[in-house]
């Protein structure tokens, strides 16, 4: 009997030790996992959902299941500066636009051009990137300006400034304009010979050529036809976040983080004076 009791005590001791060990390990694991979500002061950072269309390299694209790109690095740095954690939600271009209106996303970042028309529906941050439209054509094409597009078919991404530029050239409901949900689909359609050209943001056109050297595609500039555009973060209208984020954008540009991210993705030093 005595022996028996003794054995049980030892057993209990062992169980207690194991339980203590498990609790200890769990606490260590919890601390390690929580590290990312916690600021230096130990507080949880509030997570903001950023809607995007990750088919727009080098600004946002999918790599091994992750949204990556210049916009991702920049927006993450800006949100962190403002005290938030960025969570990207790759929902596609048109859903992204809706999600901001419906407050399903806190903001959208996707190489989005600040336009007067969009300002009627959305708030925008200060500009963070200068862009313009370019024409992508097959290498052997003799299209050398917007004028040469007159009797041609062009591909654009729907509801973008590229689509707007095409409407200016051909008229709003022209059947020469072929609208695609994503930029890569428009370019594929040109490679298959279904459209003669694609109108798209310059850095994206250049990145496509860089990544697809065998595609036999070239860019055509038309400085007379295409103005400068400026990218901004897009918010629901009358949002108190906009001002906070603007402050953080200013800091991230001034403290050199912007230049670092720009160099990583574009291999050169940015001219930030174009943003003023």
Binding site for ligand ARG (CB under 6 A): 53, 56, 60, 93, 110-113, 157, 160-161, 183, 201
Helix, strand, coil content of the chain in percent (nearest 5): 45, 25, 30
DSSP per position, 224-253? TT--EEEE--EEESS-THHHHHHHHHHHHH
Which lies closer to ligand ARG via its Cβ, residue 89 or residue 251? 89
Closest to ligand ARG by CB, 56 or 84? 56
Q: What is the CA radius of gyration of the chain?
A: 25
CB of 55 to ligand ARG, least distance (A): 6
Classify strands 107-108 and 217-220 as parallel, antiparallel or unpaired.
unpaired
Nearer to ligand ARG, 38 or 189 (CB): 189
Furthest C-alpha separation in the chain:
103
Cβ-contact 69, 58 below 8 angstroms: yes
3-state DSSP assignment of residue 51:
strand
Smallest distance from ligand ARG to CB 102, Å: 19
Comparing CA positions, the residue from 149, 230, 175, 188 lying closest to residue 55 is 188
**Smallest gap from residue 234 Cβ to ligand ARG (A):** 9
Q: How far is the CB of 25 from ligand ARG (least distance, A)?
A: 43
Compare residues 107 and 183 and give the one whose CB is closer to ligand ARG: 183
The nearer residue to ligand ARG, 212 or 255, going by C-beta atoms, is 212
Q: Residue 56 or residue 262: which is nearer to ligand ARG going by CB? A: 56
Q: How far is the CB of 43 from ligand ARG (least distance, A)?
A: 32
Least Cα distance to 121 among 238, 266, 273, 36 occurs for 238
Query: How many other CB atoms sit within 10 Å of the CB of residue 75?
Result: 29
* Residue labelled with tokens 């160099």: 263
């Amino acid at each position: 009997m005595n022996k028996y009791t003794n054995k049980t005590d030892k057993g209990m001791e062992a169980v207690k030790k194991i339980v203590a060990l498990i609790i200890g390990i769990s606490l260590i694991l919890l601390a390690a996992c929580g590290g990312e979500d916690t600021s230096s002061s130990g507080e949880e950072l509030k997570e903001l959902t950023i809607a995007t269309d990750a088919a727009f390299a080098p600004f946002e694209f999918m790599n091994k299941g992750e949204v990556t790109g210049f916009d991702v690095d920049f927006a993450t740095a800006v949100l962190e500066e403002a005290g938030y954690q960025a969570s990207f939600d790759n929902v596609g271009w048109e859903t992204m636009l809706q999600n901001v209106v419906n407050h399903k996303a806190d903001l959208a970042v996707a190489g989005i051009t600040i336009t007067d028309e969009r300002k009627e529906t959305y708030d925008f941050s200060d500009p963070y990137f200068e862009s313009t439209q370019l024409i992508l054509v097959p290498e052997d094409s003799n299209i050398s300006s917007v004028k040469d597009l007159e009797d041609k078919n062009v591909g654009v991404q729907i509801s973008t400034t590229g689509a707007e530029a095409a409407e200016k050239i051909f008229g709003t409901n022209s059947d020469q304009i072929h609208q695609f949900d994503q930029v890569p689909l428009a370019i594929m359609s040109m490679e298959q010979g279904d459209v003669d050209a694609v109108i798209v943001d310059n850095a994206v056109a250049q990145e496509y050529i860089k990544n697809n050297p065998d595609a036999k595609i070239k860019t055509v500039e038309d400085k007379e036809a295409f103005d400068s555009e400026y990218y901004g973060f897009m918010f629901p209208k009358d949002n108190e976040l906009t001002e906070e984020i603007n402050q953080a954008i200013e800091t991230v540009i001034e403290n050199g983080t912007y230049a670092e991210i720009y160099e990583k993705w574009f291999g050169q030093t940015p001219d930030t004076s174009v943003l003023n």
